[in-house]
Chains A and B, each alone.
Chain A
Amino acid sequence: MSRAFLPSVLTANDLFEGDVVYLTASGHWSRAHGDALLFQDAAAAGEALAAAQAQPARLVGPYLAPAQSGPQGPRPVHFREGFRARGPSNYRYGKQAQGMCRP
């Protein structure tokens, strides 16, 4: 029996920058977690993941990361995804410095 599907965003690293990207509802890849499309069912998420895996010239390592909806768009569930969405805690580099990170 497979585990119950948790609402998830589809994320990867950008091939050129290495930066974290998220699939949006319009099919584009955004740098902001809040822009991400929150998949509610496993089938649609699985299809989107397979499609992302077929874009090796843009993306590295796409995967589904559980998230929850919030007033500013989806929010990470796990703290690791929180750091990916924000940047490191010792310097203000990464998304937090680029206005890509919403509280």
Chain B
Amino acid sequence: MYAYSTFDHQFLKTRNAQFRAQVERRISGALTEDEFKPLRLMNGLYLQLHAYMLRVAIPYGTLHSAQMRQLAEIAERWDKGYGHFTTRQNIQFNWPRLRDVPDMLDALAEVGMHAIQTSGNCVRNVTADHFAGAAADEIADPRPVAELLRQWSTDHPEFQFLPRKFKIAITGSPNDRAVTRAHDIGLRMVTRDGAQGYEVIIGGGLGRTPVIGKVLAEFLPQDDLLPYIEAILSTYNSFGRRDNKYKARIKIMVNELGLDEVRARVDSRFKTLRAEWGGADQAVLHDLRAAFAPPAFRSAPTAAYDAAYAYDPVFRSFADTNLAAHRHPDYAIVTISLKAHGATPGDATAAQMRVMADLAAEFGHDELRISHEQNVILPHVHKSDLPRVHATLQAAGLATANIGLISDIIACPGMDYCALATARSIPVAQDIAQAFRARELDIGAMKIKISGCINACGHHHVGHIGILGLDRAGVENYQITLGGDGTETAALGERAGPGFAYDQIIPAIDRLVTAYLALREGAEESFIDTFRRLGPKPFKDALYQTGGRADAA
């Protein structure tokens, strides 16, 4: 993993001292709220419905045990003893007091963390495949490049005032776990004639104008990556719209200029920038690759795992749902579900954070990951350690075996916290998880994603079933989209029809699930596969109970 340099530490120290002074000037009345707001947002501090919220970046979702322990410490000392992991691999503290935030930022800096550029019209936290460096299907670990992008974009003077926020995601695997096609720039590592490079996807995004990203470059040699990204940002900074906030994302620029014209402008800018960089980026990248070298994997018998799998049905259930294939055959990737049935998706208590940190330190080569699906991952666990890891997770209420199932729901904070929300998300997720608990193994793979407004932080457009909470004449109302997909076969869900009242959403989902179970060609055919085979009609008929009438017509 990357360890902060002296430069990084000094930069944070200076920046935090500046913010401390800004907070003091706000409290003294020397700064008005209008003057202070952009300064606090640049440091990740929002004001939400009930309190301030501090959004802390977890670069490419990677952290080590000391960082996780510090997050627990911050949650206990200055918040209400828990944190909320987000769909952008960040963590949010929901109850800080203004006077305490400078101390919280200093505490973060102690472990090489910060909240810079978690808000504002700048390059946000670069997200990555949460299985990076561990996945069996990976071409190469994308995190050295993600860290290069983090260093390049942090406080980049040219890109602090972009037309709008800018999100970059990267994956090193053909199986896209980073939703690259729903980002301003998505990077997918590919190989051509034995050489590694990137497919560069541009102009994806969800929000009020959902767009699946388009391929700007099919194969970009990896040495060209940073100058090429800079050329994209530079082109966007020059030609992206600033007259209308809702048309300011790069996806609108791509739509209005056309992909070919964007490519021509980026290529032109790239020629200049490529020469200017002179390979400095490659020297940094070389060092970063060394920092992200894989840990020394242990060769040991896996008999303890095999025995537990054979004789302990609870462990077997956990292993079947929460483990993923590791690049080393004796290891597994463990996904710790933050989706216990009825709990708030993505929330972990300080005690749970410490348990996860301890497990990472003892059994996981000191690595943890946060997924955009709001779970925590131990990327490198030797199989022989899995029974002990599982037992420890069980004792901490962290052993829910539901990864990829209907209760493993993405949900934004919604109107329980967020000032932008138009309806609640969290209780909808809680209720769905409870309602389908008994049937979820039978239902199988299912991604439900819930947003509490059209900004789509809950990724509802790419949910197999997406739920969007709206305010309809002063009442919460929920639209359902069907057939979305956030993976390498990305697709936007299609709106099913009129929305449902808050108390009608569970019966509506139940009709969809019941229809699916009746329509599938056996338990092997997932909801999304059945939807793709049959199209939306039978699902809409079930949802709106129109099947009989449609057949009769």
A interface majority secondary structure: loop
| Minimal beta-carbon separation of B382 from chain A (angstroms) | 36
| Minimal beta-carbon separation of A62 from chain B (angstroms) | 10
Our pick among B29, B424, B426, B430 for the contact of A57 (Cβ within 8 Å) is: B29
A84 to B474, CA, bound (A): 15
Is the beta-carbon distance between A83 and B415 smaller than 8 angstroms?
yes
Is the beta-carbon distance between B33 and A20 smaller than 8 angstroms?
no
Chain A, residues 35-54, CB within 8 Å of chain B (1/0): the string is 00000000000000000000
A56 to B26, CA, bound (A): 9
A 77-103 contacts with B by CB, 8 A: 77-80, 83-84, 87-91, 93-95
Selected interface stretch from A9-17, A22-30, A67-75: A9-17
Is the beta-carbon distance between A18 and B47 smaller than 8 angstroms?
yes
- Given contacts A17-B97, A88-B416, A56 and B29 within 8 Å (CB-CB): yes
| Minimal beta-carbon separation of B505 from chain A (angstroms) | 14
- Given contacts A80-B415, A89-B427, A90-B427, A19 and B29 within 8 Å (CB-CB): no
A60 at the interface (CB under 8 A from B): yes
A15 to B80, CA, bound (A): 19
Chain B, residues 416-434, CB within 8 Å of chain A (1/0): the string is 1100000010110010000
B 432-490 contacts with A by CB, 8 A: 471, 474-476
Is the beta-carbon distance between B50 and A79 smaller than 8 angstroms?
no
A56 to B35, CA, bound (A): 11
Our pick among A15, A17, A90, A91 for the contact of B26 (Cβ within 8 Å) is: A15
Is the beta-carbon distance between B417 and A79 smaller than 8 angstroms?
no
Chain A residue nearest to B427 in the complex (CB): A89
Most B-side CB within 10 Å, residue of A15, A79, A88: A88
Please name all residues of chain B whose beta carbon is closer than 8 Å to the beta carbon of A89 when the two chains form the complex.
Answer: 416, 424, 426-427
A19 to B475, CA, bound (A): 24
- Given contacts A79-B476, A83-B416, A90-B430, A15 and B50 within 8 Å (CB-CB): no
Is the beta-carbon distance between A19 and B51 smaller than 8 angstroms?
yes
Chain A residue nearest to B29 in the complex (CB): A57
Chain B, residues 22-63, CB within 8 Å of chain A (1/0): the string is 000011110011000000000000011111100000000000
Interface residues on A, range: 20 to 34
B70 at the interface (CB under 8 A from A): no
Is the beta-carbon distance between B97 and A78 smaller than 8 angstroms?
no
A11 to B114, CA, bound (A): 32
Our pick among B48, B96, B426 for the contact of A90 (Cβ within 8 Å) is: B426
Chain A residue nearest to B343 in the complex (CB): A90
B285 at the interface (CB under 8 A from A): no
Chain B residue nearest to A80 in the complex (CB): B415
B530 at the interface (CB under 8 A from A): no
Is the beta-carbon distance between A84 and B424 smaller than 8 angstroms?
no
Our pick among A60, A79, A95 for the contact of B33 (Cβ within 8 Å) is: A60
B270 at the interface (CB under 8 A from A): no
Is the beta-carbon distance between A19 and B50 smaller than 8 angstroms?
yes
B16 at the interface (CB under 8 A from A): no
Please name all residues of chain A whose beta carbon is closer than 8 Å to the beta carbon of B474 when the two chains form the complex.
Answer: 77-79
Is the beta-carbon distance between B430 and A84 smaller than 8 angstroms?
no
| Minimal beta-carbon separation of B34 from chain A (angstroms) | 8
B95 at the interface (CB under 8 A from A): yes
Our pick among B33, B49, B52, B416 for the contact of A56 (Cβ within 8 Å) is: B33
Chain B, residues 122-165, CB within 8 Å of chain A (1/0): the string is 00000000000000000000000000000000000000000000
A91 to B47, CA, bound (A): 19
A60 to B98, CA, bound (A): 12
Q: Lowest 8 CB-CB distances: which A-B pairs, in order?
A: A88-B416, A57-B29, A18-B51, A18-B52, A94-B50, A90-B426, A56-B32, A90-B344
18 A-B contact pairs sorted by A residue (CB < 8 Å): A13-B47, A15-B26, A15-B27, A18-B47, A18-B48, A19-B50, A19-B51, A57-B28, A61-B47, A79-B415, A83-B49, A83-B416, A83-B424, A89-B427, A90-B344, A90-B416, A93-B50, A94-B51
**Chain B residues within 8 Å of A, Cβ to Cβ:** 26-29, 32-33, 47-52, 80, 95-99, 344, 415-417, 424, 426-427, 430, 471, 474-476
Instruction: A61-B33, A78-B474, A83-B416 are known; give 20 further A-B pairs, CB within 8 A.
Output: A15-B33, A16-B99, A17-B51, A18-B48, A18-B51, A18-B52, A18-B96, A18-B97, A18-B98, A19-B51, A20-B50, A79-B415, A80-B471, A83-B49, A89-B427, A90-B344, A90-B416, A90-B426, A94-B50, A95-B50
**Chain A residues within 8 Å of B, Cβ to Cβ:** 13, 15-20, 56-57, 60-61, 77-80, 83-84, 87-91, 93-95
